[in-house]
Amino acid sequence: MVTGIAVVLCATAGAAVAQDVITQRRDGMKNMGRQMEAIKAVTDARGDTRPLVERIDTMLALYTGLPALFPAGSGTGETRALPAIWSDRAGFEQMDATMVTQLGVLRAAAAAGDVAATTAAYGQVGATCVACHRTYRGPAR
Ligand code: HEC
């Protein structure tokens, strides 16, 4: 009986941990949307891209550690993560690595103050957001 209670408590704690990591990655992604809007405002205005480096570093911080925010068992709950994240782990990690590479290109362009190159790299980054969501993010449920 005592063992039964311990098992229930452990299962509940596991679910709580999964929900924490889900909240963390969803908040992180929401922040990515805000960073992208801010970058677009500058490229649209053909403004100074150099201060954008700080925003791009914030983005790099999330994507560098993204796979760790999708541990096994975090595919259920308040999440749109698709099972493919775990069944095609190599593909998911490759997609994330592409994002990190493209953010490196964006960072270099922004640091150089090159508006045209920043605009082009921004487009590539945006396309990878869409590509990953198409494959690994499901409808709201
Ligand atoms: C490697 C895959 C991947 C990449 C790259 C990626 N996303 Fe996501 N994104 C996801 C997944 C998976 C979810 C669903 C997370 C969940 O619900 O647990 C998500 C969710 C989101 C959400 C919804 C957050 C919420 O719950 O309200 C936003 C906004 C978002 N992403 C923005 C972006 C932006 C902007 C980019 C590009 C800069 C991007 N994402 C790149 C996989 C990715």
Asked whether the predicted pLDDT for residue 73 surpasses 80, the reply is: yes
pTM of the model: 0.91
State the pLDDT at residue 69.
98
If you ran DSSP here, which 8-state letter would residue 139 be given?
-
Q: Which domains are delineated in the chain?
A: 2-136 (1.20.120.10)
pLDDT band at 1 (very low <50, low <70, confident <90, very high): very low
pLDDT tens digits, residue range 25-63? Answer: 999 999 999 999 999 999 999 999 999 999 999 999 999
For residue 57, the CA-to-ligand 1 centroid distance in Å is: 17
Within 13 Å and on the Cβ side, how many CA atoms surround 42? 22
Give the distance (Å) from ligand 1 centre to CA of residue 101: 17
- Torsion over CA of 110, 111, 116 and 122, rounded to 10 degrees? -20
* Residues at CB less than 6 angstroms from ligand 1: 22, 25-26, 29-30, 32-33, 36, 66, 79-81, 92, 95-96, 99, 125, 128-129, 132-133, 136-137
How many whole angstroms separate alpha carbon 119 and alpha carbon 102? Answer: 12
- Structure confidence by residue, pLDDT tens digits, 105-117: 999 999 999 999 9
Burial label for 91, CB within 10 Å (0-12, 13-18, 19+), is: middle
Distance, CA 11 to ligand 1 centroid (Å)?
27
Q: For atom 32 of ligand 1, which residue has the closest CA?
A: 29
Average pLDDT on 82-97 reads: 98
Q: Look at residue 16 in the predicted model and tell me its pLDDT.
A: 76
